Amino acid sequence: MRSTFSFEALSAAIFILLSIPVEVWAIPFPHDHGLPASHVATPTNLSEVISSPANLTRRAPPPLTIPLAILANSGQDQGYIASIRVGSNPRPFTVLMDSGSSEFWVISEICRQRGRRNAIGTASSPLIADLGVRWGTGYEDGSTLSGTVVRDTVVIGDRTIRGFPFGAAQTLTDTLVTGIYDGIMGFGLSSVSRTGAPTPLEAMAGSLIPDAITGWKLARSADGRNDAEITLGGQNTAKFHPDSQVIVPNTSRGRSTTWRFTIDKIMMNGRTITDARVGIVDTGSSALFVNHEDALAVLGQIRGLVALKNGEFAIPCNARPQLALVIGRVPFSVDPRDIVGVPIGGGLCLANIVSDVKRKPGEWLVSIPFLKNVYLTLDVTGNQIGFAELR
């Protein structure tokens, strides 16, 4: 993230989030701890969750669709949050939904960087259990956290996971200190989770939802519609044209497994700018982060380009760049508004394509500016990724 949010912005986002009817593809049940067995998973210990996250004993319910609220700053969409329940804490937790990480964590009550945010601990949830496991992780922007692994009930929509192990963040650094969400829910792969626990998605698969699949529709605040959503366990075909969908394999392997795929080529203003590239799906980043050579090659097609510090570029605010990523031989276009960023004066705006020294040659962090233009499907079971045109 290149900027932080105000608490007023968060309050507005939460109000919108909680005031939208939740679309649930299942028989509605109350949001409490007395749900039918088919809507409750009850792992007994950490090893059981890891070895058998679904605890499949009954026919799985249909997928679950929940609304997402946009976190925006100066008109720029910088993240998507959901409201969930943790333990017996009466306040809902606001969590950033992030495909680029594999851990679920919320702030601990003993975290000194907590501020006014919601947190978990024995004061708010007396039955929470500390598993005595230390853990830590970091993010693309250099921010880090550390804490312990705890176990408590987690409620997402009308589905309840009992005794679920997750991270309780006791120390935060950098943007995690100034962030306004209460935690992050990762939708990467459980095999690389730093907590040693499965993702909530994989823990739910089989018993609470049909499979470990997510469908994402990320909204654009400039459109004036708050129709962002995530479907757990499937896709919402009402949001995209099924015949336009392209399915590509996840090409990531090894200890750093993420959602990676092959981009056939990058086009700008109708011209082919690069040949094949590696894309990394990240719903938690507000810009397309690429290596310096690719940033110059793509943005160099825009008249009036100005190089700034820290790998950023400025372009005329009235520019209408026509960026397209070709995936599975199909070009997916990006709305010009998603490339033109925050105004900085003199008729110039930041470009939402940023040069990143950490990026390997040919590597693109495919994030919010692109993902708002497609319906995204992340299939853990099939180890594949889907892109489709929105309706």
DSSP line for 117-128: S--BSTTT-TT-
Confidence of residue 112 (pLDDT cuts 50, 70, 90): very high
Closest CA to 231 of 159, 153, 161, 338: 159
The yes-or-no verdict on residue 48 having pLDDT over 60 is no
| Burial environment of residue 57 by CB neighbours within 10 A (0 to 12, 13 to 18, 19 or more) | exposed
- pLDDT the model gives residue 40: 55
Residue 40: closest CA among 202, 160, 204, 199: 160
Predicted local distance difference test score (pLDDT) of residue 171 = 99
Q: CA-to-CA distance for 250 and 194, rounded, in angstroms?
A: 20
3-state secondary structure of 98: strand
What letter would DSSP give residue 295? Answer: H
Q: pLDDT at position 254, please? A: 75
Among 215, 364, 217, which residue's Cα sits nearest to residue 280?
364
**Residue 377 belongs to what H/E stretch?**
strand 374-379
Q: Do 7-235 and 240-389 come out as alike in CATH topology? A: yes
Here the tokens at position 365 are 């962090």
Distance CA 334, CA 312 (A): 19
Class of the CATH-defined domain 7-235: mainly beta
- Distance (Å, whole) CA 288 – CA 15: 29
Nearest partner of 80 among 20, 24, 13, 140, judged by Cα: 13
The pLDDT of residue 58: 60
- Whether the pLDDT of residue 230 is over 90: the answer is yes
246 and 325 in contact (C-beta within 8 Å)? no
Q: How many residues does the chain have?
A: 391
pLDDT at 4 over 50: no
Higher per-residue pLDDT: 140 or 259: 259
CA distance 338 to 267: 15
Residue 12's pLDDT is what?
A: 45
pLDDT for 200 equals: 99
Digit-coded pLDDT (tens) for 306-322: 999 999 999 999 999 99
Q: Provide mean pLDDT across the span 363-390.
A: 98
Q: What pLDDT score does 52 carry?
A: 44
The alpha helices in the chain, defined as continuous H runs, are 7-19, 46-51, 175-178, 200-204, 292-299, 368-371
DSSP states along 300-340: TTSTT-EE-STT-EEEETT----EEEEETTEEEE--GGGTE
For the residues 286-294, what does the mean pLDDT come to?
A: 97
- Are residues 222 and 132 in contact, defined by beta-carbon separation less than 8 angstroms? no
Res 34: pLDDT: 30
* pLDDT band at residue 41 under the 50/70/90 scheme: low
Instruction: Return the pLDDT at 352.
Output: 98
* One-letter amino acid of 137: T
* Residue 20 predicted with pLDDT over 80: no
- Round the average pLDDT of the chain to a whole number and report it: 88
Q: Domain spans of the chain? A: 7-235, 240-389
In tens, the pLDDT along 248-281 reads 999 998 776 899 999 999 999 999 999 999 999 9
Do 351 and 299 contact (CB within 8 A), yes or no?
yes
List pLDDT tens digits, range 155-192: 999 999 999 999 999 999 999 999 999 999 999 999 99
pLDDT at 9: 45
Among 26-30, 121-125, 224-228, 269-273, whose mean pLDDT is lowest?
26-30
Question: First CA to last CA across the chain, in angstroms?
Answer: 29
Architecture of domain 240-389: Beta Barrel (2.40)
Return d(Cα 231, Cα 240) in angstroms, integer: 13
